Amino acid sequence: MGRTLPEDRANRPVVVIGAGTLGRRIAMMFATRGGTVRVCDPSADQRNAAVDYAAHNLHDTIGELGLGPAGTVEASDDQAAAVRDAWLVVEAVPERLDLKKKVFAQLDAQAPPDAILASNSSSYASRLFIDDVDQPERVLNTHFYMPPATNALDVMSCGRTDPDVIEYVKRVFPDYGLHPFEVRRESTGFIFNRIWAAIKRESLEVVHEGVSTPQDVDEMFKLNFGTRAGPFRMMDQVGLDVVLDIEEHYAAENPSLPEGPRRLLREYIDKGRLGVKSGAGFYDYDQGGKAPDAWGSKEREGS
């Protein structure tokens, strides 16, 4: 379609809006090939944590991925100033639709005309953010999982994204140790999260029906697939309240989904068993977040 793309990206920063757990990891990945990455967040504590995370992990990540030289991660509380010369802006704010609409309207006005505006949302299609965006052809989803441990990401059009923007993102993101996969039609949950949701849902249903226990399901899963952890241990890592929110979102779109998995999650949540973060979920954990029979290695993180 002839849209101008930010080919001069080597001299321009990437900006991440939101310095939470995932935002700071996204920022670090873009700093693995040099240059400046700015993290913008209204919370000074979050901004400082993001810079500290990069300082402690960037060089090890570069070594593991064979990338480099290292760039810098800096923090800002001034969004307009942070994005004024960006080639890419990645939105990683909380999963509130009203907030995302507001942020994208601001970014459309503040960022350079050729800058790409991407959402990391795991719950919403970027089509839902563009009501007040004048250049929707540069807006898309780039859904990250949990880099640097999991470097796959979904790339999905907002429905009006210029195909050249999609191809550009798929071409340049591997330079930062990332592996983009195109979602070829709009899909709630994108690619892997839909598959993972089905695994979680059926695992929960098996336990809800009394067919098995969380521990036995996990052990069978590990033996059959050669993984270090099963679905219940992974759900404990994510947080059972978060798992329930995700499942409620799927159920709102598809009322035919079984109620049993949500009932089981509510039973645990009502007892205050939210997973690792509360000290107990499907398993009991010590203060370091390890179960007495923990398998030792760090689990896959994600939703």
pLDDT in tens, 195-244: 999 999 999 999 999 999 999 999 999 999 999 999 999 999 989 998 99
b/e string for 141-160 if b means 16 or more Cβ within 10 A?
Answer: bbbbbbbbeebbbbbbbbee
Query: pLDDT over 70 for what percent of the chain?
Result: 95
Cα 108 from Cα 124, distance rounded (Å): 18
- Give yes or no for residue 5 having a pLDDT over 50: yes
Q: Which CATH superfamily is domain 9-183 in?
A: NAD(P)-binding Rossmann-like Domain (3.40.50.720)
- For residue 112, count other CB atoms closer than 10 A to its CB: 14
Tokens of 31: 């700093």
b/e string for 246-277 if b means 16 or more Cβ within 10 A?
Answer: bbebbbeeeeebeebbbebbeebbeeebbbbb
Specify whether the CB–CB gap between 24 and 50 falls below 8 A.
yes
Helix, strand, coil abundance in the chain, percent, nearest 5: 45, 15, 40
- Give yes or no for residue 300 having a pLDDT over 70: no
Cα 58 from Cα 32, distance rounded (Å): 7
Domain ranges of the chain: 9-183, 193-278
Cα 39 from Cα 49, distance rounded (Å): 11
Report, at the CATH architecture level, how domain 193-278 is classified.
Orthogonal Bundle (1.10)
User: Could you report the per-residue pLDDT of 77-88, keeping only the tens digit for each?
Assistant: 999 999 999 999
